[in-house]
Amino acid sequence: MSATVALLLGGAALLVWPASPAATRVRALRTDVASSGGLRRPPPVVLAVAVLGLVVLVAGPGGGVAALVVGGVLWRARSARRRDRSRRDAVDGLAEGLAGFAAELRAGHPPAAAAGAAARDAHEVCARSLALVEATARLGGDVPTALREFAVGEALVGVHVRRLADAWSLADRHGIGLAGLAEAVAEDLRARVRFEGRLGAQLAGPRTTAAVLAGLPVVGLLLGQLLGARPWAVLTGSALGQGLLVVGAVLVAVGLEWSAHLTARVVR
């Protein structure tokens, strides 16, 4: 039975192992082949159902519930990391785009032309906001109002787009140079990205510790199995063991969620 446990753990590790950059590029090159009728990788839902069925077959219903609980927490954590990465990339792209916008203004271009020139090389979110600035300014519209309305639908950088709208309003009311205000917003965004990067590096240790502590029950299970105590048979062969398996998974999930909550509070 210990061999079965090892195979399950190895299969789960392969499923969640992050892809290398080279593998990502290869998959991108194969996109056209897949769309033309070649072999396609099964969707994640199919893989998840297959793994869950295997877990239920080997570990019983309690093992399936435990897998759902822990898997849900891990999936939630992975989604949160992706959102944070996307937000940092969007903020960094917005900073670079605003710096380009300010440079175009200092070169003597009117705001509409400067926004259009900066939008061509900007990040996706920043390009959309600068394209909106260009269109609104060319039509003689209210740029700050347009930016604030645009920010409502931008979950990643909406608050920073509103800061650009405030800077534009300040320039209109008091005659302050828009280039200097745009540069100030861009530099503040860069400082935020640098700070979050340093903070993330400092939190790597606590996050690793939390992951190791969450994995200790699995290590104890494997050690007990190797020593002949047969904990796997107890967990999968009786109603009490199935209940304990679910309770243990819930405790591990609560620990992971609590540690993620604590680190997220520090970042915010």
Please report the pLDDT score of residue 4 as a whole number.
46
Instruction: pLDDT tens for the chain, 268 residues: list them.
Output: 444 444 444 444 444 444 444 544 545 544 444 444 445 666 777 777 787 788 888 888 888 888 889 888 988 888 888 888 888 899 999 999 999 999 999 999 999 999 999 998 888 888 999 999 999 999 989 999 999 999 988 888 888 999 999 999 999 898 889 999 999 999 999 999 899 888 888 888 888 888 888 888 889 989 998 998 888 888 888 889 899 889 999 999 998 889 888 887 776 6
In a domain, 138, yes or no: yes
Please tell me the pTM assigned to this model: 0.69
CB 31 within 8 A of CB 47: no
d(CA 52, CA 9): 13
Q: Which amino acid is at 131?
A: A
In a domain, 229, yes or no: no
In a domain, 81, yes or no: no
DSSP calls for 157-184:
THHHHHHHHHHHHHHHHH---HHHHHHH
In a domain, 252, yes or no: no
In a domain, 167, yes or no: yes
CB 151 within 8 A of CB 159: yes
Please report the pLDDT score of residue 15 as a whole number.
44
Please report the pLDDT score of residue 206 as a whole number.
86
In a domain, 243, yes or no: no
Please report the pLDDT score of residue 179 as a whole number.
92
In a domain, 108, yes or no: yes
Domain that holds residue 189: 91-194
In a domain, 174, yes or no: yes
What one-character DSSP code corresponds to residue 19?
A: P
User: Structural domain tally of the chain?
Assistant: 1
Please report the pLDDT score of residue 40 as a whole number.
65
Chain centre to alpha carbon of residue 264: 13
